Amino acid sequence: MTRQEVNELLSPILVELQEKKKEKGLTFEKIAEAIDRSELYTAAIFYGQAKPEEKDLEALSSVLNIPKDKLVAELGPSFFPLRGGLSSSPPTDPTLYRLHEAMTVYSMPIKEIINEKFGDGIMSAIDFRGAVERVEDPAGARVKITFDGKFLPFRRW
């Protein structure tokens, strides 16, 4: 999926967030610092995958020079994310495809290890934190992705 195709799936305000980010030469890390959120959560806001609070919109307004009233009207109390749906399955973008491949190959082993260590249950994607880090290595830079979700046991009734 091309950037243009992704932009066609995003609402105009989300496209504007992306454009202002690029125009100002900002990274998600810098924006996250300015709005006091994690880098991954901040990026999720820009793709309509997370619901910003009013304080986030106020900070984004300041950082990106977008009127706060406009952000509140589009992303405020009446906005609810439509999570997922920004990529085909399997995805065609090489980075997304490799993430999909890694989860396809390792999801069952990860599930089994979760069950062995915690019992019968799941990792929450709602009570969740994640991070992407660059790790220097003599053989070449490595990508470290952390998924940190609350364990939720299945209830018996």
Residue 67 pLDDT class (50, 70, 90 cuts): very high
Residue 84 pLDDT class (50, 70, 90 cuts): confident
Q: What average pLDDT does this structure show over 22-44?
A: 95
Is the pLDDT at 156 greater than 90, yes or no? Answer: no
Instruction: Please confirm, yes or no, whether 98 is among the known catalytic residues.
Output: yes
| CB distance 72 to 57 below 8 Å | yes
In the chain, residues under CATH classification 1.10.260.40 are: 3-75
Query: Tens digits of per-residue pLDDT, 129-148?
Result: 999 999 999 999 999 999 99
What does CATH list as the number for 3-75? 1.10.260.40
Query: Of 124, 129, 133, 142, which residue is the catalytic one?
Result: 124
Three-state secondary structure of 100-142: HHHHHHHHHHHHHHHHHHHCCEEEEEEEEEEEEEEECCCCCCE
The pLDDT value recorded for residue 88 is: 76
What does CATH list as the number for 94-153? 3.30.1160.10
What is the rounded CA–CA span in Å between residue 5 and residue 10? 9
Query: Tens digits of per-residue pLDDT, 111-125?
Result: 999 999 999 999 999
Of 20-24, 33-37, 104-108, the one with minimum mean pLDDT is: 104-108
The pLDDT value recorded for residue 3 is: 73
Q: What average pLDDT does this structure show over 40-46?
A: 94
Q: Quick one: the chain helix, strand, coil %, rounded to 5?
A: 50, 15, 30
Whether pTM > 0.75 for this model: the answer is yes
The pLDDT value recorded for residue 1 is: 65
Is the pLDDT at 51 greater than 90, yes or no? Answer: yes
Query: Of 29, 62, 98, 142, which residue is the catalytic one?
Result: 98
Q: How far is CA 135 from CA 31, 61, 94, 100, in A?
A: 21, 32, 20, 21
Query: Of 5, 8, 54, 101, which residue is the catalytic one?
Result: 101
What is the rounded CA–CA span in Å between residue 87 and residue 46? 15
In the chain, residues under CATH classification 3.30.1160.10 are: 94-153
Q: What average pLDDT does this structure show over 53-65?
A: 96
